Amino acid sequence: MNPLLHLTETQGAILDTARAFCAAEIAPFAAQWDRDAHFDPTLVGKLGELGFLGMMLPEAYDGLGLDAVTYLLALEEISAADASVGVLMSVHNSLPSQLILKFGTDAQKAEFLGPLARGEILGAFALSEPDAGSDAASMRAQAVRDGDGWILNGTKAWISAGGHAGVILAMARTDTPDARRGSKGIGAFILTPDLPGFKVGKKENKMGLRASETVQLVFDNMRVPGCRLLGDPAQGFAYALQTLEHGRLGIAAQALGIARAAFEHAAAYAAERQQFGRPIGEFQGIQFKLADMATRINAARSLIHATAAAKDRGLPVGEYASMCKLFATETAMWVTTQAIQVFGGYGYTTDYPVEKLFRDAKVTEIYEGTSEIQRIVIGRAALKGRG
C-alpha cells in the first residue's frame, strides 16, 4: 500500500468496489474492445448500479454525495483498467451532471439528475465544433428564438459517447450574426436525442481510446423547448469553462490511471525478463526509468489530490486544475513511452498491454483543453500573481 494515500473507510470501500468491478467487468474485455473499437452500452447501467455515475451528486438525486478526492480515486482505478471506460465516467460525472447541478432550475435537476446518477441515461458535453476547438468561443452553432423555444442549427464535434447519450449539454450562439458578442453570446442547452432534427453524424476512427465512441452531432432545424435552456442565454461559455475545471481534474485522474498501469506492467516485466543472465530490473538503466516513473506518478497524484481537496473546501482552483491536467497527462505520455522501452520489441506489439496504454495516453494531452491551453490558463493566472 502506498503510504502517501491516507484513505478514509469510505474511500477504501469505494476502491475495493472499483477494483472488483474492473477485475470482473473491464480488464478481461478491454483489449478486445480496443481491437474492435467496441463501446459496450451495458457498462452504463452497471456503473450506475455501483453509484459511479453520480459520485458527486447529492443523495437527494440518488447520487453518492461524495467529495472530489474520493471520486478521483475511483476514476484513477477504472482508468487503469481501461481509459475508455474512464472517459465515459469522467465526462458524465464532471460535465453534464455538474452543469445541471450548478446552473439548472429545480425542475431541470428533478428531471435529469436522478436518471444520470442511476445510470439510466448517459451524459455528454458538446462544446467543440469542426472549426472551433481550442478557440471554443468562435463556435458557429446557432440558436434562434422561436416562440417560447429555440431552433438550433450547427455541428458539434469530438463528442465522447454522443451517439449513446440520453442527455447532451450543448453550447450554441444566442447572439445574432449582425451583433456578435464573442464569449458573451453563447447559451447552454439541455438536449435529448428525441428532439426532432437531432442527428448523430460522423464517427471518428481513433488511434487510442477506441472503446470510447467519439462522434459529431448535427442539429438540423432542431426545435428545443424553452425549458431546456440552462440559466442565462448569454452565459453558456462561462458555465462551460467553469465546469471544465472539474472535467480537467477528471482527465488528470484518468491519465494518472493510465500511467500507473504502464508503470506496474513495466516493473513486473523488469523483474522477470532475463537478459545477460539476470532480470533486466537489476540494470541501473532500467531501475532509473522505474524510479523516474514512480516519482512522476506520485507527484501527479499528490497534486491532483491536493487540488481536489482544495476544491472540496470550496476554494477556486481553476489554474491548479489546469496544472493537474498538464502534469498528469504529460506524465502519462512520458511513462507509457518509457514502459514500451522497458518491454523492448515486445512492447511494440499488441501481445502486451503497454502499446494500448501509450495510444490511450496521447488524447489526454489534447481533449478538455490541450497542454498548450492549460499553459495559457496557468500563465495568465501567474501574471495576475496566482499559482
Residues of this chain that bind ligand CAA (CB under 6 A)? 87, 91, 125, 127-128, 134, 136-137, 158, 160, 183, 237-238, 241-242, 244-245, 318, 367-369, 373, 376-377
DSSP 8-state secondary structure symbol assigned to residue 137: G
Closest approach, Cβ 387 to ligand CAA, in A, equals 14
CA 179 to chain centre: 34
Closest approach, Cβ 318 to ligand CAA, in A, equals 5
C-alpha cell at 305: 489530490
List 129, 330, 355, 368, catalytic entry: 368
Collapse the DSSP code of 112 into the 3-class scheme (helix H, G, I; strand E, B; otherwise coil) and give the result: helix
Residue nearer to ligand CAA on the CB measure, 33 or 367: 367
Closest approach, Cβ 305 to ligand CAA, in A, equals 21
CB atoms within 10 A of CB 185: 19
Residue nearer to ligand CAA on the CB measure, 246 or 265: 246
Residue nearer to ligand CAA on the CB measure, 119 or 185: 185
Q: What angle do CA 169, 171, 172 make, to 5 degrees?
A: 140
Separation CA 81–CA 52 (nearest Å): 15
CB atoms within 10 A of CB 8: 11
Indicate the residue whose CB is closest to ligand CAA.
Answer: 369
Separation CA 117–CA 195 (nearest Å): 22
Residue nearer to ligand CAA on the CB measure, 158 or 327: 158
Residue nearer to ligand CAA on the CB measure, 95 or 143: 95
C-alpha cell at 154: 450547427
Is 381 exposed, middle or buried, given 0-12, 13-18 or 19+ CB atoms closer than 10 A? Answer: middle
Closest approach, Cβ 149 to ligand CAA, in A, equals 26
Integer angstrom CA distances of residue 169 from 97, 99, 126, 259: 9, 8, 6, 30
Closest approach, Cβ 281 to ligand CAA, in A, equals 36
Closest approach, Cβ 212 to ligand CAA, in A, equals 9
Residue nearer to ligand CAA on the CB measure, 181 or 273: 181
C-alpha cell at 246: 472539474
**Nearest CA-CA partner of 253 in 86, 11, 52, 65:** 86
Helices and strands in the chain: count of H runs, count of E runs: 12, 10
Residue nearer to ligand CAA on the CB measure, 71 or 158: 158
Separation CA 90–CA 379 (nearest Å): 25
Can 368 be counted among the known catalytic residues? Answer: yes
Separation CA 257–CA 81 (nearest Å): 8
DSSP 8-state secondary structure symbol assigned to residue 66: -
The C-alpha torsion from 293 through 364 and 240 to 228, rounded to 10°, is: -130
Catalytic residues: 368
